[in-house]
């Protein structure tokens, strides 16, 4: 099998993105992730395979979807439509019969060549702006063979690439994927491993070790991105520790992006009917973001709010 034929799962491709690396970019969102961040703004990436999305607010309870489902996954109970996620195969048969457009399938399989064709359509914008293609997710390292194939195809076709990653994988995997990209956008969520585990489901030891190795062993530029989640990682102590780590381990030239939490992902949790409580908090105030930014500036780090 050649690079072109490698296949993987993608849940979105966004064109004209300006927050995922330099210039105008196309961001390819890969499905699957090894972390379970409580505030995740792309919960559709939790599942590798395509998944039914159902908007209860749009549903008019016409019942057309019940007989359309070959798996008998749809039922009407206590006045509401229910989708049995154990039975649903995301076949999509219920979508065309729904007059309210309340149903859709998130994600699909792509070959690396299909991704290349899609992202190539904006080549002229990359060239004019210093932009390119960003692989994001989900977690790019969750589908390392597919990610590597897409990155190599982009490189062969003179498209600049960036990878956004949480770095939560074995070093061998991190190295095999990232050595094919031009820039790494590395998420740093919490410096305390126990707190990191509470918020994301995994400790941070491997993540920090991998981050230290990227500039040293791969010689690829890194931008550190810190999602600022009020009540989770926005204490001055954690931000000071983050700044110290970046300064000592990566160097003062390393750019840092502080990304304020937003609530755009909350509705997605409901539409995907994911289990567990939906995490919600208020976005951080501008003043609070400014105070955190100053901590990095006092450490002579090149920091900005936003990506």
Under DSSP, is residue 60 helix (H, G, I), strand (E, B) or coil?
Answer: coil
Q: Name the minimum Å distance from CB 97 to ligand SF4.
A: 6
Q: Is 239 in the site for ligand SF4 (CB under 6 A)?
A: no
Cβ-Cβ contacts under 8 Å for 139 (sequence gap 6 or more): 30, 32, 33, 34, 35, 45, 165, 166, 168, 169
Q: Name the minimum Å distance from CB 40 to ligand SF4.
A: 23
Q: Which stretch binds ligand SF4 (CB under 6 A): 70-78, 118-126, 176-184, 293-301?
A: 70-78
Q: Is 247 in the site for ligand SF4 (CB under 6 A)?
A: no
Q: Is 82 in the site for ligand SF4 (CB under 6 A)?
A: no
Q: d(Cα 97, Cα 200) in Å, to the nearest integer?
A: 38
Map the footprint of ligand SF4 across residues 35-54, applying CB under 6 A: 52
Q: Is 153 in the site for ligand SF4 (CB under 6 A)?
A: no
With respect to ligand SF4, which residue has the nearer C-beta, 56 or 259?
56
Q: Which stretch binds ligand SF4 (CB under 6 A): 21-29, 36-44, 67-75, 176-184?
A: 67-75
Q: Which of 13, 48, 93, 220 binds ligand SF4 (CB under 6 A)?
A: 93
Q: Which stretch binds ligand SF4 (CB under 6 A): 8-16, 62-70, 142-150, 204-212?
A: 62-70
Q: Is 272 in the site for ligand SF4 (CB under 6 A)?
A: no
Q: Is 64 in the site for ligand SF4 (CB under 6 A)?
A: yes
Q: d(Cα 177, Cα 146) in Å, to the nearest integer?
A: 9
* DSSP H or E segment with residue 296: helix 286-298
Can you give the C-alpha Rg of the chain in angstroms?
A: 21
In the chain, the largest separation of any two C-alpha atoms, in whole Å, equals 64
With respect to ligand SF4, which residue has the nearer C-beta, 97 or 145?
97
Q: Name the minimum Å distance from CB 32 to ligand SF4.
A: 19
Q: d(Cα 122, Cα 118) in Å, to the nearest integer?
A: 8
Under DSSP, is residue 46 helix (H, G, I), strand (E, B) or coil?
Answer: helix
Q: How far is CA 10 from the centre of its chain?
A: 11
Q: Which stretch binds ligand SF4 (CB under 6 A): 63-71, 132-140, 176-184, 256-264?
A: 63-71
Under DSSP, is residue 142 helix (H, G, I), strand (E, B) or coil?
Answer: helix
DSSP string computed for 232-263: TT-SHHHHHHHHHHIIIII-TT--EEEEE--S
C-alpha distance from residue 222 to each of 62, 137, 179, 208, 269 (Å): 52, 18, 12, 13, 31
Map the footprint of ligand SF4 across residues 102-141, applying CB under 6 A: 102-103
Q: Is 62 in the site for ligand SF4 (CB under 6 A)?
A: yes
Any bridge partners for residue 133, and if so which?
26, 161
Q: Which stretch binds ligand SF4 (CB under 6 A): 36-44, 90-98, 211-219, 251-259?
A: 90-98
Any bridge partners for residue 225, and if so which?
187, 257
Q: Which stretch binds ligand SF4 (CB under 6 A): 16-24, 57-65, 237-245, 249-257?
A: 57-65
Q: Name the minimum Å distance from CB 73 to ligand SF4.
A: 4
Q: Name the minimum Å distance from CB 109 to ligand SF4.
A: 16
- Residues forming the site for ligand SF4 (CB under 6 A): 52, 59-65, 68-69, 71, 73-74, 81, 83, 88-94, 97-98, 100, 102-103
């Amino acid at each position: 099998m050649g690079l072109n034929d490698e296949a993987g799962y993608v849940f979105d491709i966004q064109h004209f993105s300006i927050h995922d690396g330099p210039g105008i970019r196309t961001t390819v969102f890969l499905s699957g992730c090894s972390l379970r961040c409580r505030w995740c703004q792309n919960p559709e990436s939790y599942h590798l395979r395509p998944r039914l999305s159902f908007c209860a607010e749009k549903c008019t309870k016409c019942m057309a979807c019940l007989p359309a489902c070959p798996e008998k996954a749809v039922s009407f109970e206590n006045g509401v439509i229910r989708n049995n996620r154990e039975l649903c195969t995301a076949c999509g048969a219920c979508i065309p019969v729904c007059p309210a457009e309340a149903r859709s399938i998130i994600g699909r399989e792509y070959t690396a060549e299909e991704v290349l064709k899609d992202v190539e359509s904006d080549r002229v914008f990359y060239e004019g702006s210093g932009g390119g293609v960003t692989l994001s997710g989900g977690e790019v390292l969750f589908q390392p063979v597919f990610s590597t194939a897409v990155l190599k195809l982009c490189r062969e076709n003179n498209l600049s690439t960036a990878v956004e990653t949480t770095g939560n994988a074995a070093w061998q995997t991190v190295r095999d994927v990232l050595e094919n990209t031009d820039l790494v956008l590395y998420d740093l969520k919490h410096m305390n491993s126990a707190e990191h585990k509470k918020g994301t489901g995994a400790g941070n030891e491997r993540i920090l070790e991998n981050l230290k190795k990227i500039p040293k062993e791969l010689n690829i530029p890194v931008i550190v991105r810190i999602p600022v989640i009020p009540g989770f990682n926005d204490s001055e102590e954690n931000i000071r520790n983050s700044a110290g780590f970046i300064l000592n381990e990566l160097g003062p030239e390393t750019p840092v992006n502080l990304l304020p939490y937003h609530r755009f992902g909350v509705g997605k949790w409901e539409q995907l009917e994911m289990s567990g409580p939906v995490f919600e908090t208020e976005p951080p105030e501008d003043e609070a973001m400014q105070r955190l930014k100053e901590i990095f500036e006092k450490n002579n780090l090149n920091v900005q709010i936003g990506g």
